[in-house]
Amino acid sequence: MVSKSAEHLLDTFNILDSELTAPVFSLPDDQGNEFCLQSRHHAGATVLVFIRGHWCPYCRRYLSKLQANYYRFVERNVALIAIGPEPVQTARGLVRDLALSFPVLADVDGRVIDLFGTRNGLSSVRTLVPHPAVVVIDAELSVRFKSIDRNFKKRTTIRNIFQVLDEIGCD
């Protein structure tokens, strides 16, 4: 298990045996509806994907890859949720442009970005832009996997996400 104080030092870690409870939050989605993580309790696993913004070509490519595999998430009763630092209108445009079947949540104040420790602290300017990250939360709302990519060009592979989902019984 990774201690809370050491989490920010690691780029990627797997905490499959951890009892770390996910922070409960609610944010508006690209349609203006509130998504509340608590609503996923006992409803199936949730995969949170933190993106830098609609302008990031690496994020757009990654979201497109997730969309191409969306049916696999649905088959496993897994909610796929993207979170970005931009307003609802921008999230709506991103969903439309990429024809996404999953929501993009608007974290305009960076509260959830901070709760999950994904804020990019490497910049000399305080910014809302998160590091690209993936968090897998089980049906009991325990964090079972967290990967933060400090290199904005890198992303957790789709294969790794499904491997984690298989390991926690989402097959």
Give tens-digit pLDDT for 7-53: 333 344 455 455 688 998 999 999 999 999 999 988 999 999 999 99
Answer whether residue 77 is part of any domain: yes
Query: Which helix or strand (DSSP H or E) is residue 57 part of?
Result: helix 57-68
* The Cα angle at residue 100 between residues 120 and 72, in degrees rounded to 5: 95
Answer whether residue 152 is part of any domain: yes
**Rounded-to-integer distance, Cα 50 and Cα 18, Å:** 21
Domain of 107: which CATH number? 3.40.30.10
37-49 core/surface letters (b: 16 or more CB in 10 A; e: else): beebeeeebbbbb
Strands 79-84, 46-50: pairing is: parallel
Answer whether residue 102 is part of any domain: yes
74-84 core/surface letters (b: 16 or more CB in 10 A; e: else): eebebbbbbbb
Q: What is the pLDDT of residues 45-83, one digit of tens each?
A: 999 999 999 999 999 999 999 999 999 999 999 999 999
Answer whether residue 129 is part of any domain: yes
Residue 83 backbone phi and psi in degrees, to 5 = -130, 125
| Residue from 170, 160, 168 nearest 66 by CA | 160
**Rounded-to-integer distance, Cα 63 and Cα 144, Å:** 21
Q: Specify the pLDDT at position 2.
A: 33
Answer whether residue 7 is part of any domain: no
Q: Specify the pLDDT at position 100.
A: 98
Query: How many domains is the chain built from?
Result: 1
For residue 35, give its domain range.
21-161
**Rounded-to-integer distance, Cα 85 and Cα 110, Å:** 6
Answer whether residue 16 is part of any domain: no
Q: Specify the pLDDT at position 9.
A: 33
Answer whether residue 112 is part of any domain: yes
Looking at every residue in the chain, the average pLDDT score rounds to: 85
Answer whether residue 139 is part of any domain: yes
